[in-house]
Amino acid sequence: MTPAPVDPVARRRLVVLTTSELAPGYRLAGVATVSAGSATEAAERLRALVEVDGERGIVAVHEPFLDALDPAWRRRLEESTSPLVVALPAGAAEAGAEDRRERLLRMLWEAVGYQITFEPGERER
């Protein structure tokens, strides 16, 4: 009996690119991690993750690392679907509720392609 072929999408996996301080927490959760000590090092590691053909379906990147990328390359990553590169919010404790709300709205807008408002009369972008 021949085994059923494995769906290539099912083989894809999540890889997190984060700081060396945060990496152990992701590893404890069972997530494959790649750590970087600086934005420059993170850019090099991200390039390797994206350009090497493998089983990466999603590459989640520590948001400050993603923000530090060259704008043209970041735009290319945002338009790519394989692998899908997403930002992992830094989760800074000092961020206010409005900052978190704005970040959530931006993430929703990027994910669905529409500006979402939660209250009547909210400003549109």
pLDDT tens figures, 66-110: 989 998 888 888 887 788 888 888 765 455 556 667 766 676 666
Please tell me whether the peptide bond between 83 and the residue prior to it is cis, using omega within 30 degrees of 0: yes
- With pLDDT > 90 as the criterion, what percentage of the chain qualifies? 24
Q: Per mean pLDDT, which range of 1-15, 18-32, 36-50 is the poorest?
A: 1-15
Taking the whole predicted model, whether its pTM rises above 0.75 is answered as: no
CB–CB of 27/14 below 8 Å? no
Give the residue with greater pLDDT, 29 vs 113.
29
Rounded CA separation 91/38 (Å): 18
Rounded CA separation 43/64 (Å): 11
Domains belonging to the chain, first-starting first, are 8-90 (3.40.50.10580), 94-125 (no CATH)
Give the residue with greater pLDDT, 83 vs 64.
64
Residues in Cβ contact with 107 at an 8 Å cutoff, skipping those fewer than 6 apart = 87
What per-residue confidence (pLDDT) applies to 5? 43
pLDDT at 55 over 90: no
Report residue 120: phi and psi, to 5°.
-60, 140
